[in-house]
Structure 1
């Protein structure tokens, strides 16, 4: 069994590439101590993400792994068909394409306000994570779900602990605090519905009787809130970092803003917001790419970030190139668990990056890329801070 450590958090790609060269499946211990079966390579990861033999339900985890769960309620992330199919269909009825599209003016306004505040920073310096990457998606998802503004900082603190993945007293306390808060919020919305997604989720099923249970509401609210800002916040930071470390690509985007859609797809491929997918569990023994993995709740972990760097799928995968066709990446997953909020995340990133470059034509990094501290754990992929400057 291999162990992943050292500079792995800052730059995991060489380790993944070395492992992939040995074969697509490896039994490893992650930096936080969890023992998993890594799946590497584009074809293998894509297949594993859609493999119905692997369970998303924690009840199938082995006893040794079961104690490490740090989520509550019942959500799409932790359900198989037919429950997953039902939950996703119910949420899709409220989280419509029209609703996402209608958010465009508000996303633009929030972005403009944040960049104006950033421009007033002393000495032309700021941390982009605090100035834009975090507050933009947090504001949007909280307004979408109807979460009071004053509670957002507390929610971010809880989420930062929970997404690391390892169960500790602090993460359990954060989970308990978040669950109590969301339960209270659900009761408030039930008594006084508003024009928000959470109120709509509570009201679902009044006509056909298929309603979300209390545990399903709590699980759904937690997942939508955390995923609704974590993914986008990391993607904004990662994307801007890539642009600022590849000046030729930055110049190309400035010269031709119509490249923004292709640039966002390349950001997702090159340095996506999630390093790995959520846990899958073996119910019965399963063979993946020629390796037999025992049943009984072994964790199978598809490495999304390595799929985007597989030279068998993408030419020059280690180069950031916004003119390439990066479509087909699996940064938002694949199969029935494909990210429900992918279109919202893309819309926010397009707006944020375009406005940032227009507002700050001389934007540059204010630290060496190798000096940046990256978020711990193997789930979220993004820098803790991103110092930038302009003149």
Structure 2
């Protein structure tokens, strides 16, 4: 069974890769799936037309083997672009893709830089002592960005984050999961109704307009699922990415010196973090639509498949001797942490932009930034999907001697 507490994730992934490229595993609740552990095999699975995202192909779901209160039900059964293929996927993706064009994402750079400056100012005003950088910096930046994009009111954002975490956790009781999921659905319904009454220049309002104009373009369930997906994917991955990147740099001061000295760009830190410590551990689910053989493993029609991004990111067959090492000086890695093929993450460019703005600004403002506890002692997130630590306590140290410097957003 995959460890639901995520202790020793990378060691567990090393063992899985040694067993094979596709390994049968058990998830919380006794649910069984195939974990794709190696880079080349994962790339194949992500584009194989015999593998679907549609839950109707999952044999254990159809025959009732999956418990009705399974913690990951809300993720695998949500009505959104992550759980459909073909024309339905293109339809749903098309409704939100205009918000993530290169031009529109780049236009957000000044706002990301402004938010970063504001958060750094807030950090500078905290009393001396350990600061949870995950909570105080890595969390609010992507949260504010995505909530502004999709039109979620500021006073409900923290509550939404707390509730959506339930969809990813692996250690709650079924009763806890059901209660919090119900509260989340009620809250999101209230937010959608608010935007319906008072539309704005945001993605939720645009989706509501598409739904109200022509119900064949977007059902009410798809509207709800898409807003939920945009909220979770829009901040959770970037939160983990920034946390993991800071943790990696603090644990590898020689690598930090390379980027701070200008020998390597900050974008190299982002890409190496995505490979070496992917923000996503195992993403559920894909399903075999027929009996098939992939890299020596025989899957049967209806089998479930996990995309094990963190395992693929340290695959020696792909990355050689550097696989287990954090090395920003190495050539920029080709990784799969944002997916591959038709379901490639729409928000990948935005996540990169936010991290590439936030990281140099943080280390520029606080050049003496240091861990407040041994990094090896940090507790991992107890989720079935995400890969990061629950906290990142640091000592900020002195600010730059000439005080605050505005963040431009440039990573050069």
TM-score normalized with structure 1 length: 0.93
My pick for the range that moved more, 90-99 or 286-295, is 90-99
Secondary structure in 1 matching 2:319: coil
Task: For 1:142 and 1:284, locate their aligned partners in 2 and report how far apart those are by CA, in whole Å.
Answer: 40
Task: For 1:140 and 1:182, locate their aligned partners in 2 and report how far apart those are by CA, in whole Å.
Answer: 18
In the other structure, the counterpart of 2:406 is none
The superposition leaves residues 194-249 of structure 1 with CA deviations (integer Å, 9 ceiling, x where unpaired) of 01111122223888886322111101000000110100000000010000000100
Task: Note the 1:301-316 alignment, pairs <5 A.
Answer: 301-315=306-320, 316=322
* Contact 1:31/1:377, CA 8 A, preserved across alignment: no
In the other structure, the counterpart of 1:254 is 260
Cα–Cα, structure 1 residues 326 and 172, in superposed 2: closer, same or farther, change >3 Å? Answer: farther
Specify which of 43, 46, 50 is matched with residue 47 of structure 2.
Answer: 50
Task: For 1:172 and 1:196, locate their aligned partners in 2 and report how far apart those are by CA, in whole Å.
Answer: 30
Cα deviation for residue 123 of structure 1 reads 1.6
2:66 corresponds to 1:65 = yes
Specify which of 81, 102, 105 is matched with residue 100 of structure 1.
Answer: 105
Cα deviation for residue 45 of structure 1 reads 1.0
In the other structure, the counterpart of 2:327 is 321
Q: Please, which runs of 5 or more residues in structure 2 have no aligned partner? A: 398-412
Task: Note the 1:13-24 alignment, pairs <5 A.
Answer: 13-24=10-21
Specify which of 363, 372, 378 is matched with residue 366 of structure 1.
Answer: 372
* Contact 1:70/1:171, CA 8 A, preserved across alignment: no
Secondary structure in 1 matching 2:317: coil
Cα deviation for residue 121 of structure 1 reads 1.9
Matched positions, count:
387
In the other structure, the counterpart of 1:193 is 199
My pick for the range that moved more, 40-49 or 277-286, is 277-286
Cα deviation for residue 354 of structure 1 reads 1.0
In the other structure, the counterpart of 2:403 is none
Q: Please, which runs of 5 or more residues in structure 1 have no aligned partner? A: none
In the other structure, the counterpart of 1:376 is 382
Cα–Cα, structure 1 residues 190 and 96, in superposed 2: closer, same or farther, change >3 Å? Answer: farther
Cα deviation for residue 58 of structure 1 reads 2.0
My pick for the range that moved more, 354-363 or 297-306, is 297-306
In the other structure, the counterpart of 1:87 is 92
The superposition leaves residues 54-85 of structure 1 with CA deviations (integer Å, 9 ceiling, x where unpaired) of 22122232121263312465101111112111
Task: For 1:108 and 1:229, locate their aligned partners in 2 and report how far apart those are by CA, in whole Å.
Answer: 16
My pick for the range that moved more, 159-168 or 322-331, is 159-168
Secondary structure in 2 matching 1:331: coil
Cα deviation for residue 31 of structure 1 reads 5.4
In the other structure, the counterpart of 2:251 is 245
My pick for the range that moved more, 44-53 or 96-105, is 96-105
Task: Note the 1:1-12 alignment, pairs <5 A.
Answer: 3-5=1-3, 9-12=6-9
The superposition leaves residues 123-146 of structure 1 with CA deviations (integer Å, 9 ceiling, x where unpaired) of 243101111111111111111111
My pick for the range that moved more, 354-363 or 23-32, is 23-32
Cα deviation for residue 363 of structure 1 reads 0.5
Task: For 1:177 and 1:31, locate their aligned partners in 2 and report how far apart those are by CA, in whole Å.
Answer: 23
In the other structure, the counterpart of 1:38 is 35
Task: For 2:214 and 2:193, locate their aligned partners in 1 and report how far apart those are by CA, in whole Å.
Answer: 22
Cα–Cα, structure 1 residues 66 and 49, in superposed 2: closer, same or farther, change >3 Å? Answer: farther
2:248 corresponds to 1:230 = no
Task: For 2:216 and 2:106, locate their aligned partners in 1 and report how far apart those are by CA, in whole Å.
Answer: 27
My pick for the range that moved more, 134-143 or 203-212, is 203-212
* Contact 2:96/2:203, CA 8 A, preserved across alignment: no
* Contact 2:80/2:92, CA 8 A, preserved across alignment: yes
Cα deviation for residue 282 of structure 1 reads 2.5
2:159 corresponds to 1:154 = yes
Task: For 2:111 and 2:148, locate their aligned partners in 1 and report how far apart those are by CA, in whole Å.
Answer: 10
Secondary structure in 2 matching 1:28: strand
Task: For 1:184 and 1:299, locate their aligned partners in 2 and report how far apart those are by CA, in whole Å.
Answer: 34
Specify which of 372, 392, 396 is matched with residue 390 of structure 1.
Answer: 396
My pick for the range that moved more, 161-170 or 257-266, is 161-170
My pick for the range that moved more, 152-161 or 118-127, is 118-127
Task: For 2:201 and 2:244, locate their aligned partners in 1 and report how far apart those are by CA, in whole Å.
Answer: 33
My pick for the range that moved more, 197-206 or 72-81, is 197-206
Cα deviation for residue 100 of structure 1 reads 1.7
* Contact 2:105/2:350, CA 8 A, preserved across alignment: yes
2:75 corresponds to 1:75 = no
Specify which of 336, 344, 352 is matched with residue 338 of structure 1.
Answer: 344
Task: For 1:11 and 1:253, locate their aligned partners in 2 and report how far apart those are by CA, in whole Å.
Answer: 28
In the other structure, the counterpart of 2:353 is 347
